[in-house]
């Protein structure tokens, strides 16, 4: 059983196939006329795929350090040496690091060639691999270099998640929890492939409505302002999804203080996070002033203090929040 979800972008629309074992469908989703594939992956990803055409495997290092212009140059040079041309395809097989790097390579090699990915982490399946945001880091900050470059197809093979280390699984489940509040409803009642498909459906709809992140796409950052602040402050043993979970619990507290949601809805946030065994409390040692200062530096802030908050019309970016409300709400997640 698999789900086929369309990311509707007119003549650049593409399918996302979700299900157990869907990597075996790879040859059927490659664009027509492809002769060769540059298959970008990492050494420790224990899954192989068969594109059904001649392919060159290129491995990149593990972790955020792989998201660098040096790695992009190395990969492009290997592709040039092996004769990958404009009509060929970049295939990323891995988590968000691989799909971000491979997608960016596809965006810039020969001024842009086609890109397909097989997402093998939960975070990549429900988030990173869908929507065309690609890029690498600079020493000055994460994801500062990049391009919007939509794939031609994405395969989310939930079988590959069986080998994911538990901490990486938790990182993805924090994003799954987020989708509950973006219209997903009771996702925790579904099995894993159905959960992934439901998340992809929401992300696909948001991306189709706002491909270049001019407005609505900001809702995908629900819970991320506090999460980024905790991550920027550094030194805490939390996965991204765990930081997002704390950020979601906090966003609910801010929304309640602004009269946007009631106590029952805050309790619903807590129930969902608890159902996934996700944390809801800020780690000890992070001061209010430090956190609020970091909120203002969040690159998603539009004018000063903007947070994505739940409310009567669903989750939306809200600007001009009184800093005293932000500080009071921090106390509720300590």
User: Would you name the residues annotated as active-site residues?
Assistant: 111, 133, 175, 203, 213, 217, 221, 224, 228, 240
The DSSP string of 79-100 is: HHHTT--TTSEEEEEESHHHHH
Helix or strand or coil: residue 101?
helix
CB of 161 to ligand NAD, least distance (A): 6
Instruction: Tell me how far CA of residue 221 lies from CA of 120, 217, 244, 304, in angstroms.
Output: 22, 8, 9, 16
Q: Decide if residue 48 touches ligand NAD (CB under 6 A).
A: no
Q: Decide if residue 121 touches ligand NAD (CB under 6 A).
A: yes
CA separation for the pair 164, 137 (Å, rounded): 24
Number of residues that bind ligand NAD (CB under 6 A): 29
Instruction: Tell me how far CA of residue 248 lies from CA of 251, 268, 310, in angstroms.
Output: 5, 11, 10
Q: Within 13 Å of residue 180, how many CA atoms lie on the same side as its CB?
A: 27
| 156-183 b/e (C-beta count within 10 Å ≥ 16 → b) | bbbebbeebeeebbbbbbbbbbbbbbbe
Q: Decide if residue 310 touches ligand NAD (CB under 6 A).
A: no
Q: Decide if residue 58 touches ligand NAD (CB under 6 A).
A: no
CB of 98 to ligand NAD, least distance (A): 6
CA separation for the pair 334, 288 (Å, rounded): 10
CA separation for the pair 12, 31 (Å, rounded): 12
Nearer to ligand NAD, 124 or 154 (CB): 124
Residue 135 β-bridge partners: 146
Q: Decide if residue 260 touches ligand NAD (CB under 6 A).
A: no
Helix or strand or coil: residue 37?
strand
Q: Decide if residue 21 touches ligand NAD (CB under 6 A).
A: no
Nearer to ligand NAD, 36 or 228 (CB): 228
Return the residue of 22, 40, 89, 123 that touches ligand NAD, per CB under 6 A. 123
Closest by CA to 15, choosing from 28, 34, 24, is 28
Residue 145 β-bridge partners: 136
Q: Decide if residue 245 touches ligand NAD (CB under 6 A).
A: no
Q: Decide if residue 62 touches ligand NAD (CB under 6 A).
A: yes
Binding part of the chain for ligand NAD, among 13-21, 162-170, 274-282, 309-317 by CB under 6 A, reads: 162-170
Return the residue of 55, 67, 114, 180 that touches ligand NAD, per CB under 6 A. 67
CB of 126 to ligand NAD, least distance (A): 9
CB 170 within 8 A of CB 241: yes
CB of 73 to ligand NAD, least distance (A): 18
Nearer to ligand NAD, 29 or 244 (CB): 244
Residue nearest to ligand NAD (CB): 96
Nearer to ligand NAD, 88 or 168 (CB): 168
Residue numbers at the binding site for ligand NAD (CB under 6 A): 42, 44-47, 62-64, 67, 94-98, 100, 120-121, 123-124, 127-128, 131, 133, 143, 160, 163-164, 168, 171
């Amino acid at each position: 059983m698999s789900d086929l979800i369309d990311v509707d972008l007119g003549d650049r629309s593409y399918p996302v196939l979700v299900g157990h074992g869907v990597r075996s469908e790879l040859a059927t989703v490659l664009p027509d006329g492809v002769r060769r594939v540059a298959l970008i992956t990492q050494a420790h990803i224990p899954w192989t795929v068969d594109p059904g055409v001649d392919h060159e495997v290129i491995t990149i290092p593990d972790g955020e350090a792989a998201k660098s212009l040096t790695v992009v140059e190395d990969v492009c040079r290997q592709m040039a040496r092996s004769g990958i041309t404009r009509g060929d395809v970049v295939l990323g097989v891995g988590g968000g690091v691989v799909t971000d790097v491979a997608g960016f390579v596809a965006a810039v090699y020969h001024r842009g060639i086609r890109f397909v990915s097989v997402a093998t982490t939960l975070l990549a399946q429900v988030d990173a691999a869908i929507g065309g945001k690609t890029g690498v880091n600079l020493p000055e900050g994460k994801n500062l270099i990049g391009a919007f470059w939509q794939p031609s197809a994405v395969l989310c093979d939930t079988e590959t998640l069986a080998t994911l280390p538990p901490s990486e699984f938790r990182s993805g489940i924090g994003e799954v929890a987020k989708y509950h509040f973006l219209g997903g409803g009771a996702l925790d009642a579904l099995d894993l492939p159905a959960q992934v498909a439901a998340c992809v459906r929401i992300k696909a709809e948001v991306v189709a409505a706002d491909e270049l992140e001019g407005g609505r796409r900001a809702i995908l950052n629900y819970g991320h302002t506090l999460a980024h602040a905790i991550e920027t402050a550094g030194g805490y043993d939390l996965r991204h999804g765990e930081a997002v979970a704390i950020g979601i619990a906090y966003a609910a507290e801010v929304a309640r203080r602004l009269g946007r949601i009631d106590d029952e809805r805050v309790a619903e946030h807590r129930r969902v996070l608890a159902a996934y065994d996700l944390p809801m409390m800020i780690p000890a040692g992070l001061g209010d002033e430090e956190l609020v200062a970091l909120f203002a530096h969040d690159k998603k802030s539009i004018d000063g203090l903007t947070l994505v908050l739940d409310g009567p019309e669903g989750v939306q970016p809200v600007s001009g929040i009184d800093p005293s409300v932000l500080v009071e709400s921090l106390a509720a997640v300590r």
